[in-house]
Amino acid sequence: MNELTFRTANAADIPALIELVTSAYRGDASRVGWTTEADLLDGQRVDAAGILADINRPRSVILLAEQNGQLQACCHVADENGHGYFGMFAVSPGAQGGGVGKQVMQHAERHVLEQWQLPTMQMTVIDCRDELIAFYERRGYVRTGIKKPFPYGDVRYGIPKRDDLQFEVLAKPLGAVA
């Protein structure tokens, strides 16, 4: 297996990013992997305007992981209130379970620590995603006890199939990034 190469996304990458993130989380294609939200949400996961805003925002980057020139994974990292924020994490369904996600997370954590000298990384996860939360916990993230409401009615986040969704904040200190 060839090594992953990492680069920062630009506006020309937006269509590929929408395709990757959608394939990892929405519809039947997402069921090939284990990160699917297809039973929780319909509709879009990301949109071009939101991605472009993240690309153009100061102290915010979308990291791309490629293998043999093919996009395999992505994530968004940003400086939010003095801590790193990790989001829009997507691995191609066919590449899930092969260590790609772990490498992307390590790269993102190094970026936040080395480029911005931020002491922690935080993320939000839909709180009923127990398997996904367990994945993050195995990588050193802990539940903070902070819950945030799901943005019902805002189709930028998808169309909920349940009325009990909320976000949970997970955090990890970055002093010992592998």
Express each pLDDT in 133-171 by its tens digit.
999 999 999 999 999 999 999 888 889 999 999 999 999
Top-confidence residue, 52 or 98? 52
Tokens of 1: 């297996």
Q: What Cα–Cα distance (Å) separates residue 105 from each residue in 62, 126, 143, 153, 164?
A: 12, 18, 17, 30, 28
pLDDT in tens, 57-88: 999 999 999 999 999 999 999 999 999 999 99
Asked whether the beta carbons of 136 and 123 are under 8 A apart, the reply is yes
State pLDDT tens for residues 4-46. Answer: 999 999 999 999 999 999 988 887 777 877 777 888 888 888 9
Q: What is the pLDDT of residue 27?
A: 76
- Alpha helices for 26-156 (secondary structure H): 48-56, 100-116, 130-138
